[in-house]
Amino acid sequence: MYKIVRKEQFSPEVFLMEIEAPMIAKERKAGQFVIVQKGGDWNERIPLTIADADPDKGTISIVFQRVGAGTYLLAELEVGDYIENILGPLGSPTHIEKYGRVVCVGGGIGVAPLYPIAKAMKEAGNDVSIIIGARNKDLIIEEDMMRSIDPDLTIVTDDGSYGHKGVVTDPLKAKLGSEGADLVVAIGPAIMMKFCTLAAAEYNTPIIVSLNTIMIDGTGMCGGCRVMVGGEMKFVCVDGPEFDGHLVDWDNMMMRQRTYKSQEAEEYHKCRAVEGRA
């Protein structure tokens, strides 16, 4: 059992939970994730990147968006409640070294897993520039944390309600064109990462992306998270979640994600209908 010691609500649908998990906190590295099971009458396995960890306190932090049945029920838990199972740390950690100039790009909820990577890149001696974006001002998260790494943080919103109006690829292209970069790191919706990859390709810049495919067991046995990378089948849970963006078959990946979209939405609305039961 894992106790929730802190909970924050970033927006109507986005939550942070800090959870007591001393062994995971001690072993976790930037880029890794956990599988969370709420327990009780709902045992869906939810993969979530470790957004931060404090080995001294023995806690990890997760940030998630309430989009389906499992995350809707998870969001009902409060400080002092317990999560039944947390498996991790899983996945291959981010390869951290001194590249030179690194541009980190986060979209929506992808800003949360980007933070520990940007922090680790900075600590390795890189010149780190950060771009974050969301649909509107209310959905921008972790601004202060990102500014602690890059005081010149660039913020964009689709509707122009905060920062610059546009999408994250606009400032990314501007930075690559004017300053160049030795590496781009992009985390967010698949379509965002695809276009960040296309932007990086225009300037012959390497790019690392963190994929968020359908995942069940997190150990490579179910095959649900399979993705084509460089013409080879890979499993995001064990071979990733990070890959060379230039090698990812983005269209195939997004096609597989759409297969589950309708079912996820249906389950979400079922939970909303019974939200007062617990």
Q: Which amino acid is at 78?
A: E
Strands (DSSP E) contained in 85-231 are 85-90, 101-107, 127-134, 154-157, 164-165, 183-187, 207-210, 226-229
Q: Taking 60 as the threshold, does the pLDDT of residue 266 lie above it?
A: no
Both tokens assigned to 58: 């023995």
Q: How far is CA 111 from CA 65, 105, 129, 247, in A?
A: 12, 8, 13, 23
Q: How confident is the model at residue 262 (pLDDT cuts 50, 70, 90)?
A: very low
Nearest alpha carbon to residue 4 among 88, 82, 84:
82
Q: Per-residue pLDDT tens for 155-173?
A: 999 999 999 999 999 999 9
Q: Can you identify the CATH homologous superfamily of domain 2-90?
A: Translation factors (2.40.30.10)
| Residue that the structure tokens 């072993």 belong to | 27
The pLDDT of residue 275 is 46
Q: Per-residue pLDDT tens for 11-25?
A: 888 999 999 999 999
Distance CA 28, CA 151 (A): 27
Q: How far is CA 185 from CA 64, 124, 198, 223, 257, in A?
A: 20, 15, 13, 26, 22
Give the domain 101-210 fold: Rossmann fold (3.40.50)
**Ranges of each domain in the chain:** 2-90, 101-210
Mean pLDDT, to the nearest integer, of 171-185? 96
Q: What percent of the chain has pLDDT over 90?
A: 72
Mean pLDDT, to the nearest integer, of 207-214? 90
Q: Which amino acid is at 38?
A: K
Q: Taking 50 as the threshold, does the pLDDT of residue 268 lie above it?
A: no
Q: Which amino acid is at 56?
A: D
Bond prior to 241 in cis (omega within 30° of 0): yes
Q: Per-residue pLDDT tens for 66-83?
A: 888 888 899 999 999 999
Q: Per-residue pLDDT tens for 79-134?
A: 999 999 999 999 999 999 999 999 999 999 999 999 999 999 999 999 999 999 99
Of 23-27, 111-115, 139-143, 222-226, the range with the lowest mean pLDDT is: 222-226
This prediction has a pTM of: 0.86
**DSSP notation for 101-134:** EEEEEEEGGGHHHHHHHHHHHHHTT-EEEEEEEE
The pLDDT of residue 274 is 47
Q: What percent of the chain has pLDDT over 70?
A: 92
- Are 2-90 and 101-210 equal in CATH topology? no
